Amino acid sequence: MNTQEYERLAEKYLDCIYRVAVNGCKHHVDAEDVVQNTFVKLWEKTESFADEEHARKWLIRVAVNECNSLWRSGWKRHTAYLEELTEEPACQTAEKSGLYYAVQELPPKYRQIVYLHYYEEYSIREIAEMMKLSETAVKTRLLRARQKIKSAMEAWDAERG
Amino acid sequence: MQKEDKIKTYIQDSFREIHAPEDLRRKVMNMSEYKEKKNLAWAKKLAVAAAVALAVFAGSNCVAYAMTGNTWVENVTTKLLVNCAEHETEFIGTVNEDGTVEYHGSFETPDGSSVDVLIVDDLDDHVPGENPPVFCIDTDFNVPARSAIVKEDGKVYWVDKEIKIDLTEELADGETEISYEREGTTYRYIITESPHVPGAYDYYLVEE
């Protein structure tokens, strides 16, 4: 890929891919590895993209695969981390703050789907394609994630009276 | 606003505030420079990773010992890729309460010794009886598998050949660091409670 096109895509999609990585990993260090590996693959890519959406989906799919590779690696699986994911967005209201923690408490496999569905606004079918899962599996995870978020939010509301 | 819409809006707001750190942005934007450094770093990282991986596998017996209350699932014969070489390996899969599946198996190294393997996977991703998962590990057969965490009479020990260190009290907080010398070499390990297997420990060699 030529430098100009690489820089354009990197500038445009870095935050998006970072969010995919953060939501697919438990640790900040892993998320950064995923982002770097994803953009190394973009840098090394020789074929061009059909359109902008093709590039975006390709990058997300690579990032999802990179997250999965981490979890399938015996080395990563058994490595202890001293640095946890510490970055937290500044939430404007207590309710948003509660929701943020509820989402962060979700296992990565749910969190990633929540991100792709609610933020990137991909359909169940598109997520299934990107994550190489069945549509049923995506629906199930989304449903479970929603249930977990709702019950966490209810608990949060109850705590605040 | 409906509850579902509200959740959607809040989720969008909270994700919108997450941005890639500046340091990461610099690395990604200067890819040609970054790639040169990464190639050098990987040569070093692989050597350490290989040594650590084998040490963890050597310790998987104690992990098995620590597991209680699991439901037996099935024996699966699947491919284990060790340094890209295929080994037909029999694994025993057990389901944990947290929805993970632990696969225990072993493979033979070129010198004929047996190395235990423990792999933790998601139950959702591998339905028992269908499409047995393929596992991949990288290791270095030149590093002898000799160190391990052993549980005896309610105590936890680090064992490395003739060296045996009682870690029971040190691990009360969930993490400890040990350092000792054997055959003229200093070894330093960080040992933590496993986030995957209750009652088990992960450990890795700290690079000097």
Does B204 contact A100 at a Cβ distance shorter than 8 Å? no
Give B36-94 pLDDT, tens digit per residue: 555 444 433 443 343 334 333 333 332 322 233 334 445 566 666 665 566 677 777 77
**What DSSP state is assigned to residue A123?**
-
User: How are beta strands B135-137 and B71-82 bridged, if at all?
Assistant: parallel
According to the model, what pLDDT value does residue A119 have?
Answer: 86
Segment among A28-32, A145-149, B72-76 with least mean pLDDT: B72-76
Torsion on CA atoms A26, A71, A81, A147, rounded to nearest 10: 30
- Which residues of chain A make contact with B49, given a CB cutoff of 8 A? 75
Please name the residues in contact with A50: beta carbons below 8 A apart, sequence gap of 6 or more.
none
Q: pLDDT at position B56, please?
A: 39
List pLDDT tens digits, range B147-189: 567 777 778 888 776 788 888 888 887 788 888 887 787 888 7
| CB-based contact A43 B31, cutoff 8 Å | yes
**CB atoms A15 and B18 under 8 Å:** yes
What are the pLDDT digits (tens) for A91-129?
455 556 667 777 877 887 788 888 899 888 899 889 988
Q: Are B110 and B93 in contact (CB under 8 A)?
A: no
- Which residue from B129, B21, B19 is spatially nearest to B74, judged by alpha carbons? B129
**Cα atoms in the Cβ-side hemisphere of radius 13 Å centred on A126:** 13
Does B114 score more than 60 pLDDT?
yes
CA–CA min distance A53, chain B (Å): 20
Whether the ipTM is more than 0.85: the answer is no
The per-residue b/e assignment along B196-207, b for 16 or more CB within 10 angstroms, e otherwise, is: bbeebbbbbbee
* Residues A10, B192: C-beta atoms closer than 8 Å: no
pLDDT at A69 over 70: yes
Closest chain B residue to A140, measured at CA: B124
A69 vs B25, more confident: B25
Closest listed residue to residue A105, CA positions, set A70, A144, A136: A144
Q: Is A87 helix (H, G, I), strand (E, B) or coil?
A: coil
Decide: A68 and B134 in contact? Cβ < 8 Å: no
Query: What is residue B72's predicted lDDT score, i.e. its pLDDT?
Result: 42
Tokens of B121: 């996977």
Would the CB atoms of B122 and A39 count as touching at under 8 Å? no
Q: What is the mean pLDDT of chain B?
A: 64
Q: Global pTM? A: 0.49
Please compute the mean of the pLDDT values over residues B14-34 and round it to a whole number.
Answer: 82
Cβ within 8 Å, pair A78-B136: no
Pick among B1, B18, B117, B201 to test the A interface (most A CBs inside 10 A)? B18
Distance to chain B for A50, nearest Cα, Å: 23
Q: Tell me, what amino acid is at A20?
A: V
Helices (H), A1-107: 3-24, 28-44, 52-72, 74-77, 94-104
Instruction: Assign A73 to helix, strand or coil.
Output: strand
Residue A105's pLDDT is 79
Which of A25, A62, A71, A77 to probe the B interface (max B CBs under 10 A)? A77
